[in-house]
């Protein structure tokens, strides 16, 4: 390059000091599989960035104190009167700080998107079996991130000291009390005394803006570090094996696409923040431990716990004269079990499927009907608990008594997972046997059990790509070949900014011909 490009010129100076060229080239050549579900995690990551950006803005104006102060802003029903500093500063943020309401609402919507994307990402990983070896570790990191995200959302929601979040904290306190043996200590430790005390907002604030985000940031780094080290998983396809990754390169295609997603996440967040009111704390009122409002409902990511508390029957279990309070089972044990099961899932799956192999090819969900069944049953279970978290709204709209809806849901929460799980199992098994492309392609005939077909029928349509394991001697570059530490990137050309055409021709020539997509019409 004779003429210095302004950007490359600067980079050259950096390279002079850090020698970045080879590292950067490797990074730019990183291959991302093209399947759309691989971007679910990216939505979560980008909404986290937006949470941090908007959260910093909010922290500048928010006063995390429950001491009384006089609100002097423009919300007339409170103006000139005493409320807690946390509530007053949130009112100011919403009514008086220009742009504050947009930031507050965007922050809140981003939290919904963050956790929602994590849940979808988790479902994708679960149903395609990509928690299997060697990704068990990254699965546990991801589950931890989900837990931290849920906790931090709850903590942030509780900060403004409004009536609705105060009720939520009261339930949290009661659930903390219910832990056997140490419950009283746990609750007093968390709240610094009897509920509500004056310490909880400071404590949640420290956790919400510092400790938990730092942990999330750290774990995202670990999550992505493991991802880069292990490289992406991918769906099976022509030329795809356990020993390679096929897809787009980081630069320029995938990076632009990813930045597009960042912008779209920001767009959706700010549009929602501008056009949809969320958590109007001036409506709910400031916290007063003697009052309540109806409906007292929770945010969806904790509403399933609320729903479980509603459905759990009024039983008191006494052990040696000590009561295990009824709110323990649904409020503390269920979330605990949920996360324990999530953490243990890769190991449980290994026991169920007896599959100890290394997998880099994402399975089609149908490949393990049992896993599909368990996943669908679990989603049904938590979905019904979530519905129970809104039972008064169902009652309000249907005019059915709450007690009737509760009984219905009590039955449903136990029966429906079995039903949906069975259906999912049958459908997945039928798909697996018939080899058809999707549920819509199935006919009733496919469901008819036929012993002979099960044994004789080969997948009817499409090619199949048997998953090679790492010890497969036919796979080049597998561990047996003895090059585990080599991190040679793509068989690709050196990246030259002004040599695009040349590069393309070369890269095309080096890729096996059957990998060239028919769409590729770049030759000029």
Partner 1 sequence: MLIVACFALAMLGSLAFALCYGFDLGSEALGASIGGAFAFVGLGLAVWSQMIENREPDYVEERAIGPSPTEKWQTFEKALTTQPVPRVKVLWGMLGMSVGSIGLAALFPLRSMFPREGLNPQQVLEHTRWKAGQALITEEGERIKPDDLDYGSVLTAYPAGVIPANVDEAEYNADAVTLLIRVQPELLKLPAHRKAWVIDGVVGYSKLCTHAGCPVGLYADQYAQLLCPCHHSIFDVLHGAVPVDGPAPRPLPQLPLTTDSEGYLVALGDFTAPTGAAWWGFQP
Partner 2 sequence: MTRPDESRAARPRSRLPALLLTAAVVVAAAGLTLLPRLHVTQLDPTAAGTNLASRISAADVQHGHEVYLRDCAYCHGNQGEGSQWAPSLKHSGVAYVDFMLRTGRMPLSSVDASVTEGPPSYKEATIDALDAYVGTLTDGPVKPAVEPGDPYDGRLLFLSNCAPCHSSSGTGMIVTNGAWAPELFGSSPQTVGDAIRVGPQAMPPFTDKQLTADQVDGIATYVQQLGAKQAIGGDPIDQFGPIIEGMVAWLIPIPVLVIAIRLMGKRAK
Residues 418-477 that bind partner 1 (CB under 8 A): 470, 476-477
Q: Annotate 40-88 with three-state secondary structure.
A: HHHHHHHHHHHHHHHHHHHHHHCCCCCCEEEECCCCCCCCCEEEEHHHH
Please report, as residue ranges, which positions from 135 to 164 form the binding site for partner 1 (by CB under 8 A): none
Partner whose footprint covers residue 278, from partner 1, partner 2, none (CB < 5 to 8 Å by kind): partner 2
What distance in Å separates the CA atoms of residue 503 and residue 55, rounded to the nearest whole number?
43
- Based on the shown chain and the rule CB under 8 A, indicate whether residue 410 belongs to the binding site for partner 2: no
What is the Cα Rg of the chain in Å? 27
Smallest gap from residue 439 Cβ to partner 1 (A): 28
- Residue 162 forms beta bridges with which residues? 286
Block residue for tokens 């290394």: 358
**Closer CB to partner 1, 3 or 521, in the complex:** 521
DSSP, residue by residue, 407-471? HHHHHHHHHHHHHHHHHHHHHHHHHHHH--SSGGG--HHHHS--HHHHHHPPP-SS---PPPPTT
- Geometric angle at alpha carbon 459, from 455 and 464, rounded to 5°: 125
Please report, as residue ranges, which positions from 297 to 356 form the binding site for partner 2 (by CB under 8 A): 297-301, 303
**Closer CB to partner 1, 123 or 490, in the complex:** 490
- Terminal CA-to-CA distance of the chain, rounded, Å? 23
Partner whose footprint covers residue 53, from partner 1, partner 2, none (CB < 5 to 8 Å by kind): none
H/E segment holding residue 405? helix 402-434
Please report, as residue ranges, which positions from 477 to 496 form the binding site for partner 1 (by CB under 8 A): 477-479, 482-492
**Closer CB to partner 1, 80 or 482, in the complex:** 482
H/E segment holding residue 362? strand 361-362
- Based on the shown chain and the rule CB under 8 A, indicate whether residue 79 belongs to the binding site for partner 1: no
What distance in Å separates the CA atoms of residue 25 and residue 11, rounded to the nearest whole number?
12
Smallest gap from residue 17 Cβ to partner 2 (A): 25
Smallest gap from residue 142 Cβ to partner 1 (A): 20
Q: Determine how β-strand 81-84 pairs with β-strand 68-71.
A: antiparallel
Partner whose footprint covers residue 25, from partner 2, partner 1, none (CB < 5 to 8 Å by kind): none
Residues 107-126 as x/- pattern, contact with partner 2 by CB under 8 A: -xx--xx--xx--x------
Block residue for tokens 């028919």: 518
Smallest gap from residue 423 Cβ to partner 1 (A): 30
Partner whose footprint covers residue 254, from partner 1, partner 2, none (CB < 5 to 8 Å by kind): partner 1
- Based on the shown chain and the rule CB under 8 A, indicate whether residue 188 belongs to the binding site for partner 1: yes
Please report, as residue ranges, which positions from 216 to 245 form the binding site for partner 2 (by CB under 8 A): 235-238
Judged by CB under 8 A, which stretch of 138-146, 194-202, 205-213, 348-356 contacts partner 1? 194-202
- Based on the shown chain and the rule CB under 8 A, indicate whether residue 459 belongs to the binding site for partner 2: no
Q: Determine how β-strand 322-324 pairs with β-strand 317-319.
A: antiparallel
What distance in Å separates the CA atoms of residue 110 and residue 361, rounded to the nearest whole number?
31
Residues 19-58 as x/- pattern, contact with partner 1 by CB under 8 A: ----------xxx--x------------------------
Residues 96-115 as x/- pattern, contact with partner 1 by CB under 8 A: --xx-xx--xx---------
Residues 224-263 as x/- pattern, contact with partner 1 by CB under 8 A: ------xx-------x--xxxxxxxx--xxx-xx-xxxxx
Smallest gap from residue 444 Cβ to partner 1 (A): 38
Distances, alpha carbon 372 to alpha carbons 340, 349, 386, 434, 436, in Å: 19, 11, 21, 17, 17
Residue 126 contacts residue 120 (beta carbons within 8 Å):
no
Please report, as residue ranges, which positions from 276 to 305 form the binding site for partner 2 (by CB under 8 A): 276-280, 282-286, 288, 290-301, 303
Please report, as residue ranges, which positions from 370 to 409 form the binding site for partner 1 (by CB under 8 A): 391-392, 402-403, 406
Residue 515 contacts residue 492 (beta carbons within 8 Å):
no
Instruction: Choose, by CB under 8 A, the member of 134, 285, 435, 499 that binds partner 1.
Output: 134
């Amino acid at each position: 390059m004779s003429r210095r490009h302004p950007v490359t010129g600067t980079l050259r100076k950096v390279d002079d000091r850090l020698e970045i060229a080879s590292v950067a080239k490797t990074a730019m050549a990183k291959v991302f599989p093209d399947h759309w579900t691989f971007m679910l995690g990216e939505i979560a990551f980008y909404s986290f960035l937006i949470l941090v950006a908007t959260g910093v803005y909010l922290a500048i104006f928010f006063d995390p104190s429950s001491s009384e102060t006089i609100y002097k802003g423009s919300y007339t029903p409170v103006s000139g009167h005493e409320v807690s500093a946390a509530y007053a500063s949130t009112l100011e943020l919403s009514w008086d700080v220009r742009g504050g309401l947009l930031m507050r609402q965007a922050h809140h919507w981003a939290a919904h998107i963050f956790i929602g994307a994590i849940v979808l990402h988790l479902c994708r990983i679960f149903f395609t079996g990509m928690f299997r070896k060697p990704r068990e570790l990254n699965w546990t990191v991801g589950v931890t991130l989900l837990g931290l995200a849920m906790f931090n959302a709850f903590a942030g929601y509780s900060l403004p000291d409004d009536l609705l979040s105060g009720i939520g904290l009261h339930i949290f306190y009661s659930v903390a009390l219910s832990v056997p043996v140490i419950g009283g200590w746990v609750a007093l430790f968390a709240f610094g005394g009897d509920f509500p005390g004056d310490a909880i907002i400071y404590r949640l604030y420290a956790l919400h803006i510092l400790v938990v985000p730092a942990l999330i940031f750290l774990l995202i780094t670990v999550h992505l570090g493991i991802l880069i080290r292990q490289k992406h998983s991918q769906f099976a396809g022509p030329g795809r094996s356990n020993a390679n990754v096929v897809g787009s390169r980081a630069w320029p295609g995938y990076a632009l696409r990813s930045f597009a997603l960042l912008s779209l996440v920001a767009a959706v967040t700010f549009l929602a923040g501008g056009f949809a009111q969320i958590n109007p704390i001036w409506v709910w009122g400031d916290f007063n431990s003697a009052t309540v409002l109806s409906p007292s409902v929770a945010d969806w990511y904790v509403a399933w716990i609320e729903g479980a508390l509603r459905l759990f029957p009024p039983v008191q279990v006494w052990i040696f004269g000590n009561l295990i309070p009824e709110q323990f089972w649904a409020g503390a044990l269920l979330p605990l079990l949920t996360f324990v099961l999530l953490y243990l899932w890769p190991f449980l799956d290994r026991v169920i499927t007896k599959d100890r192999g290394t997998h880099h090819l994402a399975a089609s969900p149908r490949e393990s009907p049992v896993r599909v069944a368990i996943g669908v049953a679990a989603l049904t279970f938590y979905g019904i608990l979530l519905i129970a978290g809104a039972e008064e709204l169902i009652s309000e709209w249907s005019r059915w008594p709450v007690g009737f809806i509760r009984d219905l849901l009590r039955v449903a929460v136990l029966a429906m997972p079995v039903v949906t799980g069975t259906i999912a199992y049958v459908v997945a098994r039928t798909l697996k046997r018939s080899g058809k492309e999707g549920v819509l392609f199935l006919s009733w005939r496919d469901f008819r059990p036929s012993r002979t077909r099960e044994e004789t029928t080969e997948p009817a349509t499409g090619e199949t790509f048997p998953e090679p394991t790492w010890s497969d001697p036919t796979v080049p570059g597998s561990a047996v070949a003895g090059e585990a530490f080599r991190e040679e990137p793509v068989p690709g050309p050196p990246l030259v900014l002004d040599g695009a055409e040349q590069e393309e021709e070369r890269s095309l020539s080096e890729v096996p011909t059957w990998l060239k997509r028919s769409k590729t019409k770049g030759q000029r």
